[in-house]
Amino acid sequence: MARYICPMHPEVISDKPGVCPKCNMNLVSDSDVEDRTDNDSHHDNPKNHSDATHADLYACPMHPDVTSDKPGMCPKCHMALEKTKQSSHGGHKKSEHDKHAGHNPNMFKQKFWLSLALTIPTLLFSHTVQSWLGFELKFAGSEYIPAILGVIIFLYGGLVFLKSARGELAAKKPGMMTLISMAITVAFVYSALVTLKLVDGMDFWWELATLVTIMLLGHWLEMASVENAQGALDELAKLLPDEAELVENGKNRIVKVSELSVGDTILVRPGTQISVDGKVVKGESEVNESMLTGESKPVKKAVAAEVIGGTMNTNGALTIEVTKVGGDTALAGIMKLVEDAQTSKSKTQVLADKAAFYLTFIAIGAALATWIGWWIAGAEAGFILERVVTVLVIACPHALGLAIPLVTAISTTKAAKNGLLVRERMALESARNIDVVLFDKTGTLTKGEQGVVDIAAKNVSRTLSIAAAVERESEHPIAKAIFQYAHDQKVPEIHTTDFSALSGRGVRANVDGKTVNIGGPRLLEKLNIRLDDQLQAATDAASRDGKTVVYVVEEKTILGAIMLADVIRSESKAAVEKLHSMGKRVAMLTGDSEGVAAWVSGELGITEYFAEVLPEHKAETVKRLQADGSRVAMVGDGVNDAPALTQADIGIAIGAGTDVAIESAGIVLASSDPRGVSKIVNLSKRTYSKMIQNLAWATGYNALALPLAAGVLASYGFILSPALGAVLMSLSTIIVAINAQFLRRVEL
């Protein structure tokens, strides 16, 4: 029994053809998968390779790894598989397909520009165009120029569509390529017959030229969006410098970035780019990370701070320990994420494909109906043929071929520039319909690290100075948090002596001849010290909120209490407020206590939260929210968030999160800024709107033009001429292209 498998999600298996419910890609036969596997193992075995006689294979021009023993369509990009012969000897040759022009974006680009150059004189020497514009350009033999150039354009630019149409028909999925091929073939044959005076009528050479040229433009853009992801990818690749300054044995030397290994130390001077991912071991500076986050404000970097390859160091020298190289770097990961996004199909793209599929049969049916109708009406054969040809030419969806690719390319680029990395286009498209945004707390709304949130003391500055001086020598996370907070507040520095750690109770040191103890409630018990009413009230309030409280005791006197908690991201409150203003429910999910959850929610204005949720129950919480029909977006960063990210209608991962979380999400926030969620929703709405507008216009044109071309208004004295039909067809394409460009102006 045949099985059909998704090439992107092998776990999706069906006993009949169809589409993957996760990515909407066409399911492929498992025999094709086995064929590819066999081919791969064959190539891994030199002996078999040299001994075997190779049969014809069909390979995708864009994805050479996709092969089949029969014609069909590539499951990744839906291009027709091209026939290729394997080498019969030990060495590998490029496929026969590689010798042909026009099967990658650059070659399609070349075909478009040359076809455009030939189309211009075709238009200029067309009698129809000359009559419209009121000029005459004529010399001996000039009437044959449109025919000669039209033949060249058809053979040079049109054959690629004929080959792809053959693949569609072999796969029994007629679509865009079939429509294009039908239109240009009919126009070519009819025009040739008219030029050779075998048929009376008006030729279609200029319509054929514009048709091929415009469709080459559309296919070039579509293929570029699939292979290159978007224009920003090339720019991202350029961000990585070729060289780095290696610090080795006290000496510096310039080396290739490819020569660096994890653990190496490099020097990044002011005004230069950081070559690889790493950790600062010396120096302070500000780093421009706008290529990742879209934020122009530089980020301060000091010792222990992580830096990302491709970002720009601004005003200080940084010595960096290399932590990631090559394909493991953040930039490489981003490029892969965006590339993967482009290989997935959105529902709207699928809708466009279906429109092209049905339009094929509609065009053929309309052509037959036109022929039969006018034959019954007693029209002349030449007139009937002209009507049929006009119908078939107009049926070719110029605008439909550009409607989705243009919007996709622009929206993906815009997303990447704003720090929104779209792994699945379906996720971006669906974001507009989200009802509930469920945030994980730790690492998402908060930084996932302890920090000082409040100080209760009569003299806050002195209390903090003394605490920082004592904690300077400690390696405990709480001690580091206090010291860092004091450093940020720029409190006066105090020197200490006789530092010692008290097991289970805190730390002790001598400050100006006085003994200072710092610790929690157990320290107060040991020292037999009671809190006054004011400090007790502050402590009780902090405990209810789940905050950690440490006391600063000088001799037998309590100077104050320092409250610490998981630090809330500065952007989180604005993120919640923005989502509320968009009419979205916002909820929070955490494994922390009720007190902690209540405090964080209160600070951020979140009224709905789930506390003390075990990792294995997070997905159940998502299901609970979905039970009433709500569409849920889950935002998280950790391994334990992965099931919830997968269960949610849309999974959104924080860029600083784990690889598992990122792989489980459809969209990644590169900057770890939760405000990106509202940007996703906004971009989704605008993108979908442009797609629908373009589809409506593209299909609406055909719906209107086809009956007019067939002559339904002939009794009223109006018949759509081939020339006017071609003009309207080109105009619809221009409108679609301009409409897509407006997406660039959208402010997120």
Q: Closest by alpha carbon to 650, among 673, 633, 671? A: 633
| Residue 463: both structure tokens together | 């209390």
Residue 607's contacts (CB-CB under 8 Å, 6 or more residues apart) are 601
Separation CA 475–CA 477 (nearest Å): 6
203, 440, 637, 649: the active-site residue: 440
- Dihedral in degrees, nearest 10, Cα atoms 122, 126, 130, 131: -150
First to last CA, the chain: 50
| Residue 261: both structure tokens together | 């290994």
- Strand pairing category for 667-669 and 420-422: antiparallel
Q: Identify the three-state secondary structure at position 80.
A: strand
Separation CA 15–CA 728 (nearest Å): 45
Task: Please say whether the dihedral angle defined by the alpha carbons of residues 418, 423, 426 and 430, taken in this order, is positive or negative.
Answer: negative
Q: Going edge to edge, which strands form the sheet with 306-307?
A: 251-256, 243-248, 265-268, 318-324, 277-282, 306-307
| Full 3-state SS string of 392-437 | HHHHCCHHHHHHHHHHHHHHHHHHHHCCEEECCHHHHHHHHHCCEE
Position 461: which residue type? S
Residue 38's contacts (CB-CB under 8 Å, 6 or more residues apart) are none
- CA distances 731 to 56, 398, 700, Å, are 43, 10, 13
Q: What are phi and psi of 380, to 5 degrees?
A: -70, 155
Active site annotation includes 440: yes
Q: Closest by alpha carbon to 36, among 14, 62, 58, 6? A: 58
Of all helices (H) and strands (E), which one includes residue 747? Answer: none
Per the listing, tokens 């904690």 go with 471
Separation CA 406–CA 402 (nearest Å): 6
Which residues pair with residue 318 across a beta bridge? 268
Is the Cβ–Cβ distance between 649 and 655 less than 8 Å?
no
Residue 738's contacts (CB-CB under 8 Å, 6 or more residues apart) are none
Q: Closest by alpha carbon to 721, among 731, 710, 730, 732? A: 710
Separation CA 217–CA 659 (nearest Å): 38
- CA distances 730 to 118, 135, 396, 473, Å, are 17, 22, 11, 74
Q: Closest by alpha carbon to 347, among 670, 692, 714, 737? A: 692
Which residues pair with residue 636 across a beta bridge? 653
Exposure string for 507-536, b = 16+ CB within 10 A, e = fewer: bbbebeeeebbbbbeebbeeeeeebeeebe
Q: Which positions are annotated as active-site residues?
A: 440
